[in-house]
Structure formats: C-alpha cells, structure tokens
Chains A and B, each alone.
Chain A
Amino acid sequence: MSEKFDVIVVGAGPAGTSCAYTCAKNGLKVLQIERGEYPGSKNVMGGVLYRKQMEEIIPEFWKEAPLERPVVEQRFWMMDKESVVTFGYKGLEWGVEPYNNFTVLRAPFDQWFAKKGIEQGVLLITETVVLECIVENGKVIGVRTDRPDGEVYADVVVLADGVNSLLGKQLGYHNEFRPDEVALTVMEVINLPKEKINDRFNLEDNQGCTIELFGDSTKGNLGTAFIYTNKESINIGVGTTLSSMIKAKLKPYDLLDYLKTHVMIKPFLEGGESAEYLAHLIPEGGYHSVPKVAGNGVLLVGDAAQLVNAIHREGSNMAMASGKMAAETIVEAKSRNDFSESTLNIYREKLYDSFIIKDLEKYKDAAHTFENHPQYFKDYVPMMNQAASKFFTVDGTSKREKQKQIMRSITGERGTLKVLQDMYRAWKAVK
C-alpha cells in the first residue's frame, strides 16, 4: 500500500483534527493517523476549552458538541495550610452566547471533533503508531507506521503528535526536553450529583466554575492546582514542573491526595466517587522551547510545537489555531504545488504574527524566573494569608497600626530591598 495523500496528519487531538478538518474542507485528500483506540483515548486536559478558536473552525459548535458547562466564574486561590486569599470574576455574560469558555471531558469531545473531520472527508485510521517520518533528499515524503506494509506518502506531513513529539525529535527539530520545560500533572474525575455541584459552587444547571489554586496546593512548589466543574463531576488536578517534582522528591499522586484532603478543598468533594485518574505532561517551556515548526514537507502544531501559555492555562486553543494556520498554509502550498520549507514557512510567519507566539513571547522569562526564585510560591502566598488575617481580625488595634505591622512583618522576614527586588523581578517577568 503506497497510496499517496495530499496531507498526513499524525495525531487526533485538537491541533491535528483542526488541521485535518480544515484541509479536507478545502478539498485536500487527508489521512489522519491516531495511535489510540479512538481519538481522545490518549489525550488529557484539565478541562477548559475556549470558544473563540474552536468557533473559527466550527461556527456555533456549542449547539452540538459534547460540552460540560459554560464557565461563568473564574476564581483564583492563594492557599495556605488553613486559610486562603481569594479573588475572581463572575459574569453572567459568559453564560450566554457567544460564551467565553467551557469545561469539557476530552475523550467524548475529541471523538466528536474527529467525526466532524470525517464528515469533511478525512480518512481517519486509529490504533496505528507512526514510527518515523520517511525522509528523502532532505524532504519529508511520508510516514512509516506499525502496520504491515505501513508506509504512506503525502506532500505534507503534519506532526500533531503531542507533548512527547518523538517525530519532531527524530527530525532534529528539537532535542529531548529538560525536566524544567515540562509540567507533570495528575488529575481525578470525581462524580458528584448535579445538585451538590450547583450548591457547593453557587451555580445554576448550565453554569460552570473554575478555581486555580496557588501556594500550598503544590506545597509551595512551582505549579498550580485546579478544580473545574463538569455537569455531574469535578476535575481536580495538580501539577508542577518535572524538575520541581524531582527536586522536592514528590510523588504526584501523594500531592493530589494532599490537595483532595486539604481542609479548604475537602468540603467540595465530600461524598464524591472517583471515576478516572489521569497523568500527562504539559509543555511549559514557552517561547524559548518552541522548536523549528516548518521544514521541507513537514509542519509541527499544538503541543508538538510546545504551544502552551501556562500562565493563562491556554493550550488547546493554541493547538486549534495552529492547526488551522497549518492547514491554510498547506492549501496555499498546494495551489503553488510547492511544499518546500520556504513556502511552508508561511505557517511560521502566521504563527509568529498571531496571539500565540506574541503571548509566549510576553511570558518568555516567567517560567525561568519562578523556577529560580521559589519564594513567590513558597513565601509570599503564606505572607499574603497572614496579612489578610491580621488586617481583617478586629482586635482593638487601629487599622493604620495594623498596616505598619503587616509591612514590618513582610519586610522583616526578607528585608525591604529583597522584597522590592522580588516585586520588580515578578513584574518584569509578566509585564
């Protein structure tokens, strides 16, 4: 079988399916290869899907896609051992069309999305691993799979093979990632009756809430935890950079259980039934870790291209947007009948001109800064909690005196100059 396609897409996650869908819609002959039993069976996400980038591929997708709840409230928790400083935003405009984002369960969602691609003419083959790209005269001309006689050819191969992108590594587009470029995240789906979720999170049936947790949620290590509400379940997860996990000798599932039994969290989960446990890596190297994304006959999209904005928990939206840009580039390349790197670099230009690389560039030093200066998660979160406790406890001390005491305790612990340096450094990293 040496059938030739216009495009071979490796992987059926959000990046791969966006690309395959858009290519097929434009009349190209597309083969999509997925190693799992079905699309989504190997894919993991905390659970927030942004409307904007999905809508640009399938307008009004929310009318038919298997979604959980539109998110109307986003909370942020700075958590200490027995306290929490919270802020957030709840807005009912997010609960009506066109919505801002949704919680989703990826296995059903990815299957639905891939089916939309099939309806456009994509040939999807599951249970098939792509072992390597076939390279001839410096050009990728196809892939070798683990099927008998499993070589297939195409003008362009799109690598949407996820965070581990062994294929990108095979081509020499990136080296093995370092432990500080990936976050190891574990999560559980915990079933709870709808009424309980609505009551505990102050929601109506078709409203969702997300909580991002910092501080003691990772025992002060560089990372975050999250709680997302589905229709009749909660996703609760926690992750830190793999390097932090190694340095602190943390077992990820112990950290998850620490979170689940935390006095601030436990009441949310009371009576819940665990339904699934999942582990996954998130590419968090950011701007500096983005590999070469276009070569002769090949493009890299989504996690395989390290397109994740960890600070804003955006990833699947970048995956979709990059998949679409890759598809548009391939359509253009097809019309020129030129699949060389110089033509496929249109994709690179689109990517670097879009919010994706602009946002990664904005935060290019953030991960590095927080990795090398653990005080932000370890020291400042507890300090914020102590300050709030002191300020809001009525004990006969005047408010002005309280402010003085708080300032003294913060600068006293670290020194005024150090505190100012820390503030400046953090501002510079995210400005």
Chain B
Amino acid sequence: MSTKTIEEKQYLIRFKADKKSHLTVLDHDVCMTKCPDKICTIFCPAEVYKWEGLRMQVGYEGCHECGSCRIGCPYQNIKWEYPKGGHGIVFRLA
C-alpha cells in the first residue's frame, strides 16, 4: 500500500539513532512566549518537533537531517549538528 500518514512514512525508513540528540532547542521559553505558530512543528518533514504545552519535545531519532529547522526557526533557537558518524538516518534507495 501507498502510505497515507507521516507515521506510516517514517516506518519505511531505517534509523540508527544515537543515544544523544543532535538537535537542541536552546530556550523553550522562546517557543512558548515568542512563537505562537510553533512553525517547526508544521514544516518539519518528519514531525520531529512536538509542542507539549510548556516545552518542545524533540524526536531526533526520526530526523532526516535536512536542515530545515535550523534555517526555518524564526528565532535561531535550534542548535543543529550532524549525528555522530554512522548514526542517524540511513537511506537505502533514492
């Protein structure tokens, strides 16, 4: 079947998650007080970011390492590094 939801899409991919996150929200208060749209929760192609009322949950394990959040965060509030060598997403096809 062709996928219908982001959850189904993410299941298609192989991830070799590191124990430590390569994505860090620098100041959760900035998300809370300055960013009504929480826009990263919308444009992130892997739904890595989820707002939990008081803080931003970062599901780095499913990250595609595209870089959109680093560039798209209106407050430069995301520290973005590459996962440790050999870790993170492993594309098998395209």
Contacts and interface: CB of A to CB of B under 8 A. Distances in A.
Contacts, number: 145
Given A35-B82, A107-B93, A276-B13, A190 B2 contact: yes
Nearest to B82: A129
A173 B10 CA distance: 35
Contacts of B80: 164
B92 interface: yes
A219 interface: no
A43 B91 contact: yes
Contact of B64 (A235, A273, A279): A279
B37 A249 contact: yes
B75 interface: no
Q: Among the interface residues B71, B72, B82, B92, which one has the most CB atoms of the partner chain A within 10 A? A: B71
- Bin the interface of chain A by size: 35 or more
Contact of B42 (A43, A106, A249): A249
B68 A105 contact: no
Interface string B26-70: 000000000001010011011100000000000000001111101
A280 B91 CA distance: 11
B68 A281 contact: yes
A152 to B, nearest CB: 14
Contact of A277 (B10, B70, B88): B10
Contacts of A177: 71
Contact of B9 (A105, A128, A274): A274
A290 B81 CA distance: 22
Interface in A19-71: 35-37, 40-47
A188 interface: yes
B93 A246 contact: no
A276 B39 contact: no
Contact of B84 (A42, A129, A276): A129
A35 B85 contact: yes
A274 B85 contact: no
Interface stretch (A178-186, A193-201, A307-315): A178-186
A233 to B, nearest CB: 8
B50 to A, nearest CB: 13
Q: Which 7 A-B pairs rank lowest in CB-CB distance, beginning with the nearest?
A: A127-B86, A279-B45, A277-B9, A279-B64, A127-B85, A164-B67, A128-B85
16 contacts: A107-B92, A107-B93, A108-B93, A145-B85, A164-B80, A176-B70, A176-B71, A178-B71, A184-B45, A184-B68, A189-B94, A246-B43, A260-B2, A274-B9, A276-B91, A281-B66
